[in-house]
Structure 1
Amino acid sequence: MPTEKNPEYYRQLLSRWQQRTCTPDEAQELMGYLQQHDGDRTLLSELQAAFRQVKPEGGTPDAGEYGSRVREKLLQRIQAPSAAAPVRKLNKGIIRYTAAAALLAGLLLTAVWLLKRQAHLPPEMAMVKTMPVVTKGAGNKTVLTLANGEKIELDSAGIQQLMQGNSAVTNKDGQLIYEKTGSGAQSMVYNTLSTAAEQMYPLVLSDGSRIWLNAASTVRFPVTFSHQERAVELSGEAYFEIAPDARRPFRIKVGQMTVDVLGTDFNINAYPDEASINTTLVQGAVRVNSGDNSLQLAPGEQSQVKANGNIRKVADVNVSEIVAWKSGYFQFDNTDITSVMRQFSHWYNIEVVYEGKVKPRKFFGMISRGSSLANVLKMLQANDVTFRLEGKQLVIKGE
């Protein structure tokens, strides 16, 4: 380790990491500083704030030669910490500054994180190794239902093709693609794509728009769009990247709510057990309509539509946390236990029941959706969550 600099130097390193300009050696130097200076809560807080701003896809230095070298150096330090970098224990929690440094380096594809914050303790972090991200649960299939009622089970590893009117439909490499092959008039024909637990499936529509369908979700869409409008229907959760077309606005229908857009990226969470239908805008602009109420969103804003049709806007939401599922992660940033458990219930197809008064707590960090339910439950247990699993029912025990 080079001669130690003052804290301002390490803040500059942190800033350079955020700008993707620091070298692997400098990232390792910052990690060593955090390991040896557990009292520097201010810098650690800045590190956590930087982590919350990292996008789950394309927003970390985890690509190409640079990312590989960073990953290799930091994994060496994580797997074999030096004697000069001890792990400190606080009650039942463990603070690992090697783990904090892994977050710094953007090692979101090599570790699983679950953190707990308590009022009288600094943040506690547990690191657990995980399997690679998967998007298909054992025995589960994504199902494409054709207009005539025929159901086709989609295999992410195989290639399936069929023709529907003027469109060629191809299922290849875990992606369902619709491509318009003719220009003649055609009646509106609708297909439906449905996912089961532990599944996420991408869909490319005939206009080039892309939809990522989360677990236990359904989207109904036309094989080929009309010349007047583009419209689909959603239940569950999906991320949308809409191809621009000023002549044909795109509309997503969710129950009595609609979202109108010309070309933009956004997420809609409409699971039945959520308190509201949440539309979060990543870029572009959308208009959310519910009954006589309507509002327009700017990037980073979210609309929340209640069951009674009331709609409200929330500014400056954590977009990366909301769309992390698209990149194969659960991401938590000061997230309450009920919200955490709803996400687990959707993905692992379990029913969550609360027994007694459950202690309020917040969670921070990221977990690969490739983790088994057993591993996730071990992490909950390590963070003082008491529970029992009875078949497909997870009982969270309170006081």
Structure 2
Amino acid sequence: MQDDRLTWLFFRYFEKTASQEERDEFMLLLRDPANEAQIKKLMEQAYQSFTPEQPLFSEAQSEKLFAAISDSQDIITPLRIEKSYFAWKRLAAAAAVLLLITTGWYQWQKKYRPVQVAGQHSQQDVAPGNNKAVLTLADGSSITLDSVANRIIQHGNISISQQNGQLQYTTNTPPEQVSYNKLTTPKGGQYQLTLPDGSKVWLNSASALTFPTAFNGPQRIVKLQGQGYFEIAKKAAQPFIVQVNQLEIQVLGTQFDIMAYDDESTVNTTLLQGAVKVKEAGAEKILQPGQQAIFNPQDRSMSVQNADTDRVTAWKNGRFIFNNADLATILREISRWYNVDIVYKAKPGNATYGGAISRNLNLSDVLKALEENDNNHHFRIEDRQIIVLP
């Protein structure tokens, strides 16, 4: 009986003839994992009922629908339902159904999420991270930064502009007066910095960049901990060098990402534009755009492979992308952005996940999307901890 009711509500919703009560009932059934197979079957039937000659939407319109679903920062878009399932070159009904279900379900969740009753276990949700950092000056003094304050910080010959979650340095410092500053982001924070030479750096959560107040020498040298994305101003006569523990990344003018967290097993340098040279002791690798150098500090080995650049730089663009990532890797990234700890009461396993999720969502929404990809794990938020359950 429930399958018949679900089918009836599905087409009422799809044809936009459902009442508000019917829409609410349909959303409740849609949230039930037991109905997943029936929903997929109904989506396939809806898709097959339309032909390329009689689409509900034109191909161009349907492409826009799919792009909106994929690119929206406010919609959870698990990639568990793959493009091939819908044969996207034929599109029409599938894109329409997916748009209605995805947007409708998410908006319904926001509006009608059940309220916890006193005495029930109450899940403690966590808001996403934001623009915040601490700038430590050469004299040891520190300045707390956020995305609200807009001001000019004057320190000797250095002028530092803070605006909209960004710092910009300007200086006329003589060579003998060059000093070093340090920008540090906490867990749950990120920040953008424009260096004195015009190079731009995006710092991810739990990261730090040490840099001079002026680049007056033959080289431009900075030190990175954690993760940073770099857009380097071209100065052929003055190479730019990023020092990361045992590694040295040398560039002239390029765009690249370095991930070097202490809780990760490797240091990954990913090139998007230009060329970089990754050096360690006597070994070096020259990267081409789209390549990634992977350095293992344990055995001091280094290899080069093609990179998923969208996944690598997703954090900078306000998203999580988990293409073929295992649960432990995903949760480490989530823990840094939401400033939470991970407690395993079930082994993470070797299963891999795929999906794209906005970093602007609350933690509960991100964990819900992960649960939809894997029936073997469930999650609970408690005292700024993610409890991983079987």
TM-score, normalized by the shorter chain, greater than 0.5: yes
Please state if 1:168 is matched with 2:159: yes
Please state if 1:108 is matched with 2:84: no
Structure-1 residue corresponding to 2:89: none
**Secondary structure, counterpart of 2:177 in structure 1:** coil
Cα distance in 1 for partners of 2:129, 2:190 equals 10
**Secondary structure, counterpart of 1:346 in structure 2:** helix
Residues 179-206 of structure 1 show CA distances to partners (whole Å, capped at 9, x for unaligned) of 13x3644422111111123322110000
**Structure 2 residues without counterparts, runs of 5 or longer:** 1-12, 18-25, 48-61, 87-97, 111-126
1:348, distance to aligned residue in structure 2 (A) = 1.0
Structure 1: which amino acid aligns with 2:272? V
Structure 2: which amino acid aligns with 1:366? A
Please state if 1:262 is matched with 2:252: yes
Structure-2 residue corresponding to 1:287: 277
Structure-2 residue corresponding to 1:51: none
Judged with a 3 Å threshold, the aligned counterparts in structure 2 of structure 1 residues 347 and 314 are, in CA distance, closer, same or farther, namely same
Match of 1:221 among 201, 204, 211: 211
Structure-2 residue corresponding to 1:159: 150
1:392, distance to aligned residue in structure 2 (A) = 2.8
Judged with a 3 Å threshold, the aligned counterparts in structure 2 of structure 1 residues 371 and 110 are, in CA distance, closer, same or farther, namely closer
Matches of residues 216-365 of structure 1 in structure 2 within 5 Å?
A: 216-308=206-298, 310-365=300-355
**Secondary structure, counterpart of 1:315 in structure 2:** strand
Match of 1:212 among 195, 202, 220: 202
- The alignment covers a number of residue pairs equal to 310
Match of 1:145 among 133, 136, 149: 136
Residues 70-98 of structure 1 show CA distances to partners (whole Å, capped at 9, x for unaligned) of xxxxxxxxxx74369x9995449868799
Cα distance in 2 for partners of 1:307, 1:92 equals 49
1:282, distance to aligned residue in structure 2 (A) = 0.4
Structure-2 residue corresponding to 1:394: 386
The normalised TM-score by structure 2 is 0.70
Match of 2:370 among 366, 380, 392: 380
Q: Which has the larger radius of gyration?
A: 2
The normalised TM-score by structure 1 is 0.69
Cα distance in 2 for partners of 1:165, 1:216 equals 29
**Secondary structure, counterpart of 2:264 in structure 1:** coil
Cα distance in 1 for partners of 2:156, 2:364 equals 46
Cα distance in 1 for partners of 2:182, 2:265 equals 25
CA-atom RMSD, angstroms?
Answer: 3.4
Structure 1: which amino acid aligns with 2:200? R
Structure-2 residue corresponding to 1:22: none
Judged with a 3 Å threshold, the aligned counterparts in structure 2 of structure 1 residues 357 and 101 are, in CA distance, closer, same or farther, namely farther
Report the structure, 1 or 2, having the larger helix content. Answer: 2
Matches of residues 104-143 of structure 1 in structure 2 within 5 Å?
A: 104-105=67-68, 106-116=70-80, 127=102, 128=106, 137=129, 141-143=132-134
Structure-1 residue corresponding to 2:58: none
| Percent pairwise identity | 35
**Secondary structure, counterpart of 1:345 in structure 2:** helix
**Secondary structure, counterpart of 2:380 in structure 1:** strand
1:117, distance to aligned residue in structure 2 (A) = 7.2
Judged with a 3 Å threshold, the aligned counterparts in structure 2 of structure 1 residues 136 and 158 are, in CA distance, closer, same or farther, namely farther
Residues 367-389 of structure 1 show CA distances to partners (whole Å, capped at 9, x for unaligned) of 11111112222323344332333
Structure 1 contact 200–214 (Cα < 8 Å) conserved: yes
Judged with a 3 Å threshold, the aligned counterparts in structure 2 of structure 1 residues 233 and 185 are, in CA distance, closer, same or farther, namely closer
1:225, distance to aligned residue in structure 2 (A) = 1.3
Residues 238-263 of structure 1 show CA distances to partners (whole Å, capped at 9, x for unaligned) of 10001111111111111111111111
Judged with a 3 Å threshold, the aligned counterparts in structure 2 of structure 1 residues 362 and 94 are, in CA distance, closer, same or farther, namely farther
Cα distance in 1 for partners of 2:195, 2:37 equals 53
**Secondary structure, counterpart of 1:388 in structure 2:** strand
Cα distance in 2 for partners of 1:207, 1:175 equals 15
Cα distance in 1 for partners of 2:382, 2:175 equals 55
Structure 2 contact 137–182 (Cα < 8 Å) conserved: yes
Match of 1:369 among 348, 359, 363: 359
Residues 284-315 of structure 1 show CA distances to partners (whole Å, capped at 9, x for unaligned) of 11011122221111111101111235233333
Judged with a 3 Å threshold, the aligned counterparts in structure 2 of structure 1 residues 357 and 168 are, in CA distance, closer, same or farther, namely closer
Judged with a 3 Å threshold, the aligned counterparts in structure 2 of structure 1 residues 188 and 102 are, in CA distance, closer, same or farther, namely same
